[in-house]
Structure 1
Amino acid sequence: MNLTVVEQGVGFASLRWTAPNDPNKDSYTYHVIWYQYEYRMNSRTVHGTEINITSLSPGINSTVTVTSSYGNKSSLPATITFAADGCIPAQLKVVSYSPTSVTLSWIVPNDLNNTHLSFVSLFSSGKEIQNHTTKNKEITITGLSPFTKYNVSISSLCDGTESIPARIDVQTGPSPPMNLTVVEQDVGFAFVRWAAPNDPNKDNYTYDVTWYQYENRMNSRTVHGTEINITRLTNGENCTVNVTSSYGNKSSLPATITFTAVPCGGKVRAEGWLSSPGYPQNMYLYMDCVWDIEAPLGHVVVLTVVDLNYYYYYSSSQCYRTWLAVGYNQTSDRDVTMCRYSDVGRRIISITNTLRLFYHAIPFNVTLSSQGNLFTCCPVIDIKFIVYSPDYASKSPQL
């Protein structure tokens, strides 16, 4: 009895009925048949007094019959015919989101010309906080809190009647990291730090970090803190770092910074000590550096090898994987190349007031000093003079 459609949505309808007043009604089952097209019949047997019918075509009439059954006997059917609601918004989905907005789209099957009004309501914790009326089938809701859950309800006005609403749960995305900064930098590495965004769940965020100096050589890492040490940078080249906040399957827009990696080499005075980048570790296997060491005019450069941490054993006189070399001229020529432990303690003196030092992937430590030039002397002065013999005027000497 009382077969009724109690709820209807996009593609579905919930029906309910009451059991007949029969002595054995608690033992009855109910055979339900429904169709929108006679050649596409569906059926199901249920033990209760309600059923949810799905996969209905919007705007098409549906016929449902329900019979009471007990043993091998069945009742006459109760029947209802209704139209699947073509005014209910369908295909409601999230198109995009940001930390403070979400964009939704939908269709209304009976409104192909976009003439029907749609009523959009935004709920937070069950309370309506925004409402909008539009003829469009897409809307961007703004003014939201970062990484916060909301519920959106959308209904349509068809023939003066508001449809049953379609609903969807939405969530905004995380905010990007703040104050992305290079806090420390040296040859081959940079220490980058940022601040967590002011989001409710920021303590649960991870951060996806990507960096590159050349677009075809991208590096990435996911970290749980707000800092990262980036190594193996090519000296003197620009480096771009992107950091996004992530939680679950949602990520923020990136925070970006571009900086120039610290160059390796340059001009230094012939005093103190000089060591390889990252000494004593061999952190930069593919790095090449050149230093021009200068002593005061009239002095020479004195270089003493204190440590040479070789990684390869060279049986020949050639150093081809890692080496430290010096050149007496300001060219690319290497006059002395070192790569063995026996080179420790070696003392090299330039022939002018400059000395060029070449480095390729070997940890080293040298001391630098200067001393007076040993390879030149005071300038030669051209003096003319005459020597006379005793009694120059006489023809013979007096003994």
Structure 2
Amino acid sequence: MNLTVVEQGVGFASLRWTAPNDPNKDSYTYHVIWYQYEYRMNSRTVHGTEINITSLSPGINSTVTVTSSYGNKSSLPATITFAADGCIPAQLKVVSYSPTSVTLSWIVPNDLNNTHLSFVSLFSSGKEIQNHTTKNKEITITGLSPFTKYNVSISSLCDGTESIPARIDVQTGPPSPPMNLTVVEQDVGFAFVRWAAPNDPNKDNYTYDVTWYQYENRMNSRTVHGTEINITRLTNGENCTVNVTSSYGNKSSLPATITFTAVPCGGKVRAEGWLSSPGYPQNMYLYMDCVWDIEAPLGHVVVLTVVDLNYYYYYSSSQCYRTWLAVGYNQTSDRDVTMCRYSDVGRRIISITNTLRLFYHAIPFNVTLSSQGNLFTCCPVIDIKFIVYSPDYASKSPQL
């Protein structure tokens, strides 16, 4: 009855109990068994009501059972569980972690006055790379590599003696994402994107995985070692989303994301000067379509002269179906003249009104634009009133 721990220190505990209220209790013996780690450690039979248990592992739970014995009969056991006293850190655990740090906490069971020192050692591949001495029961270890495994050993100084260490395996998080992702320059069909490396200790070893999308479909991806990339073949005027992740080994960060509108191609231009395809004279944008509305002053017509037309395909028929330059006057599908051959160079096209629509599909071109007086209009209609008389108007009889 009343099994209690009356005293304990590093590696030992003194236990006491009271004899049961049986008439022959003075003849009883007591069988004591104690356990740690769920394994039977030792046992002893005593005639008194107390025992001193030694060789306990500090900071580890111990379970003690005591049974009364009389002759060859034994009682049900009385049981107690307690944490063995000592300076060994207990309840060592990871509180939080990041790509480059880990925070640990622990307790020292008999450190009631918070006076014990703790010695923290960080190991990588069996080699100690950091050590710290602290009075605290929590520490943040920094300067680590992302997504890397380490081993931490923590021992405590108690009564001038360093305890055996408590150990734990830890792992840092993945790399940090890139910072300040921005579009620094763009033009028709391309965008120049730049970002800053994260503030991780080994950022110089990072690579960056760049993926860009249009129309919610994956367009392309590339891995680069620097912090910038030139993205080409963008569809003009459409939204583009770019994701950039930091990579270290086989682990990647969360993505940094930016969405922007690709520079549109085409628009309204005046009938003067030069007009060229995007990226001329190169054929940079194989899948691009552009439409220009060319305007001359009222009362004038648009004059377009083809200076250069770099055809890339040989067409055996009269149709142009892969690359072409076309002119028309109404909607995009209404092309009155379609050009795709070198023989079209020097061609001169004159509109019938003061507007001309120019369609481009993936063929480098260069044209000149001008205007002149409207050749397709003539003299204005004038409303003149006059009278016509018959021969011999005054006579009643006609003269044949």
What TM-score bracket applies, with the shorter chain setting the length?
0.5 to 0.7
> How far apart are residue 339 of structure 1 and its match?
0.4
- Which stretch of structure 1 is more off in the superposition, 25-34 or 256-265? 25-34
CA contact (8 A) 1:122 1:128 kept: yes
Distance of aligned partners of 1:216 and 1:20 in 2 relative to their CA distance in 1, 3 Å threshold: farther
Distance 1:305 1:87, change over 3 A: farther
- How far apart, in 2, do the equivalents of 1:62 and 1:151 lie? 27
Q: Per-residue deviation at 1:2?
A: 39
- 1:122 counterpart SS class: strand
Deviation track 1:138-178 (CA, whole Å, cap 9, x = no partner) reads: 99989989899976346899999998545457575644333
8 A Cα contact 1:9 1:166, kept in partner: no
Does the 8 Å CA contact 1:149/1:171 hold for their aligned counterparts? yes
- 1:123 is displaced (CA, Å) by 9.2
Instruction: Look up the SS of the partner of 1:342 in the other structure.
Output: helix
**Larger deviation, residues 91-100 vs 206-215:** 91-100
Secondary structure at 1:182 match in 2:
strand
Does structure 2 retain, via aligned residues, the 8 Å contact 1:308–1:363? yes
TM-score (norm 2): 0.61
For residues 128-139 of structure 1, the aligned pairs below 5 Å read none
3-state SS of 1:103 partner: strand
Q: Which residue of 2 aligns with 1:305?
A: 306
| Correspondence for 2:152 | 152
Identity of aligned residues (%): 100
Q: Which deviates further from its counterpart, 277-286 or 137-146?
A: 137-146
The alignment partner of 2:85 has SS state of: coil
Please state how far the C-alpha of 1:302 moved relative to its aligned partner.
Answer: 0.7
C-alpha spacing 1:380/1:243, structure 2 compared with 1 (3 Å)? same
Structure 1 unaligned regions, length at least 5: none
Farther-moved stretch of structure 1 (124-133 vs 336-345):
124-133
The Cα of 1:354 is off from its aligned counterpart by 0.7
Mapped to 2, the partners of 1:80 and 1:181 lie a distance apart of 65
Report whether the alignment pairs 1:112 with 2:118.
no
What are the residue-to-residue correspondences of 1:157-176 with 2, within 5 Å?
164-167=164-167, 172=172, 174-176=175-177
CA distance in 2 between partners of 1:215 and 1:148 (Å): 35
Relative to structure 1, the CA distance from residue 66 to residue 230 in structure 2 (aligned partners, 3 Å threshold; closer, same or farther) is farther
Decide which moves more: 153-162 or 108-117.
108-117
| C-alpha RMSD of matched pairs (Å) | 12.4
Q: Give the C-alpha shift of residue 220 in structure 1.
A: 1.6
Give 1 or 2 for the bigger CA radius of gyration: 2
Structure 2 vs 1, CA of residues 362 and 219 (structure 1 numbering), >3 Å: closer, same or farther? same
Contact 1:98–1:252 (8 Å) recurs in 2: no
**Alpha-carbon displacement from aligned partner over 1:309-358 (angstroms, at most 9, x marks no partner):** 00111121111111111002245201100000000000100001111111
Q: Is the 8 A contact 1:147 1:199 kept in 2?
A: no
Is the 8 Å Cα contact of residues 10 and 166 (structure 1) preserved in structure 2? no
Q: Structure 1 residues 344, 21: CA separation in 2 closer, same or farther (over 3 Å shift)?
A: farther
Moved more, 275-284 or 38-47: 38-47
Confirm or deny: 8 A CA contact 1:206 1:245 kept in the other structure: yes
Measured in 2, the distance between the counterparts of 1:16 and 1:72 equals: 23
Offset at residue 194 of structure 1 (A): 1.9
Deviation at residue 307 of structure 1 after TM alignment? 0.7
Contact kept? 2:306, 2:346, Cα under 8 Å:
yes
Q: Quick check: 296-305 or 172-181, which moved more?
A: 172-181
Distance (Å, rounded) in 1 between the aligned partners of 2:26 and 2:147: 50
Q: What do the CA deviations read for 1:223-256 (whole angstroms, capped 9, x no partner)? A: 1222110011111111111222333344433322
Structure 1 residues 198 and 215: alpha-carbon distance in aligned structure 2, compared to 1, 3 A threshold: same
Q: Contact between 1:9 and 1:164, CA under 8 Å: does it hold in 2?
A: no
Of 323-332 and 287-296, the range deviating more from structure 2? 323-332
CA distance 1:2–1:296, shift in 2 (3 Å): same
CA distance 1:85–1:307, change in 2 (3 Å): farther
CA 1:297–1:47: 2 relative to 1, 3 Å: farther
User: Quick check: 2:308–2:366 contact (8 Å CA) kept in 1?
Assistant: yes
**Count of aligned pairs:** 399
CA contact (8 A) 2:99 2:200 kept: no
Shift of 1:204: 3.1
What is the CA distance between 1:366 and its match in structure 2?
A: 0.9
- Match for residue 392 of structure 1? 393
Once structures 1 and 2 are overlaid, which stretch shifts more, 140-149 or 69-78?
A: 69-78
Shift of 1:203: 3.2
Distance change >3 Å, CA 79–CA 101, structure 1 → 2: closer
Q: 1:29 to 1:133 in 2, by over 3 A?
A: farther
1:9 and 1:88 in contact (8 A); partners too = no
169-178 vs 137-146, which deviates more? 137-146
**CA contact 1:148–1:172 (8 Å) conserved in 2:** yes
Quote the residue 2:90 is aligned against. 90
CA shift in 2, pair 1:366/1:23, >3 Å: farther
TM-superposed CA distance for 1:276, in Å, is 1.2
* Conservation of the 8 A alpha-carbon contact between 2:100 and 2:201: no
**How far off is 1:185 after superposition?**
0.8
Whether the 8 Å CA contact 2:99–2:176 is kept in 1: the answer is yes
Matched, 1:292 2:293: yes
The answer (yes or no) to whether the contact 2:11–2:55 under 8 Å persists in 1 is yes
Superposition deviation, residue 379 in structure 1: 1.7
C-alpha contact 2:67 2:78 (8 A) present in aligned 1: yes
Q: Do 2:31 and 2:43's aligned partners in 1 also have CA atoms closer than 8 Å?
A: yes
C-alpha separation in 2, matches of 1:19 and 1:379: 134
Residues 9 and 86 of structure 2 are in contact (CA less than 8 Å); yes or no, is this contact kept in structure 1? Answer: no
Q: Closer, same or farther in 2 for the Cα pair 1:141/1:381, shift >3 Å?
A: farther
Determine if contact 1:10/1:88 at 8 Å carries over to the other structure.
Answer: no
Change (3 A) 1:198 1:40: closer
Secondary structure of 1:357 counterpart: strand
**1:202 Cα shift?**
3.3
CA distance in 1, matches of 2:46, 2:245: 51
Query: 1:222 Cα deviation (Å)?
Result: 1.4
Answer yes or no: is the 8 Å Cα contact 1:149–1:170 preserved in 2.
Answer: yes
